[in-house]
Amino acid sequence: MLSADDQREARSKAAEDSDFTIEPRSNNEEAFRQWRDAMRAMARLDDGIPPQFRRRIWLALADHQIVTQRLNWPRLVRIVFNGQMNPDDDRLGRQIVKDLHRTGCDEIGSEEDRAALKRVLLAYARWNKRVGYCQGFNILAAVILNVMERDEEAAFKV
């Protein structure tokens, strides 16, 4: 039989071990895997991941992917968000513009919001040349841009 102090210590240790965190506790793979599994369990709840946590969780997942792929993130951002025209930009831009009015997202209604959405979609198409832009990406990107609070770089990262 455990003493009262031992029981308190055991409960404290159990609570410490099960502390819920919105971001991974460390960068080691095992800690990340445990955190990711906990987030997957949360996503299966009826309402999914609570809206107030989505931005941080999605960014933590994206940051981990960037590290895993050993991407030079600052360089990549400079390349895909540069103001210079690339050879495919006209074609991609026309495809994207055709779809922007079909987004159907109330939060992306202003010209400024549509311009931000176009920049995110063009950045993705520049980064993933094999895929480029596909009809319907605008809907996904609009949701991501909304969750990322209009931060274009964060939306591209996710």
Residue 1 pLDDT level (bands cut at 50, 70, 90): low
Q: Is the domain of 115 the same as that of 141? A: yes
Res 14: pLDDT: 41
Question: What is the span of the domain harbouring residue 14?
Answer: 4-68
Higher pLDDT, 23 or 55: 55
Instruction: Answer whether residue 15 is part of any domain.
Output: yes
Where is the domain boundary, 14, 41, 68? Answer: 68
* DSSP conformational letter for 18: T
Q: What are the pLDDT digits (tens) for 125-138?
A: 999 999 999 988 99
Instruction: Answer whether residue 74 is part of any domain.
Output: no
Q: Is the domain of 32 the same as that of 91? A: no
Listed range (68-82, 95-109, 114-128) with the worst mean pLDDT: 95-109
Q: What percent of the chain has pLDDT over 90?
A: 49
Query: CA 96: distance to chain centroid?
Result: 21
CB pairs under 8 A, 24+ apart, for 7-13? none
Higher pLDDT, 28 or 9: 28
Instruction: Answer whether residue 34 is part of any domain.
Output: yes
Average pLDDT value for residue range 88-97 = 83
Res 154: pLDDT: 98
Q: Is the domain of 59 the same as that of 86? A: no
Q: Is the domain of 12 the same as that of 59? A: yes
Q: What percent of the chain has pLDDT over 70?
A: 84
Rounded CA separation 152/120 (Å): 6
Q: What are the pLDDT digits (tens) for 31-47?
A: 899 999 989 998 998 98
Q: Is the domain of 43 the same as that of 99? A: no
CATH number of 118's domain: 1.10.8.270
What value does the mean pLDDT of the chain take?
85
Rounded CA separation 158/145 (Å): 9
Where is the domain boundary, 68, 89, 121? Answer: 68
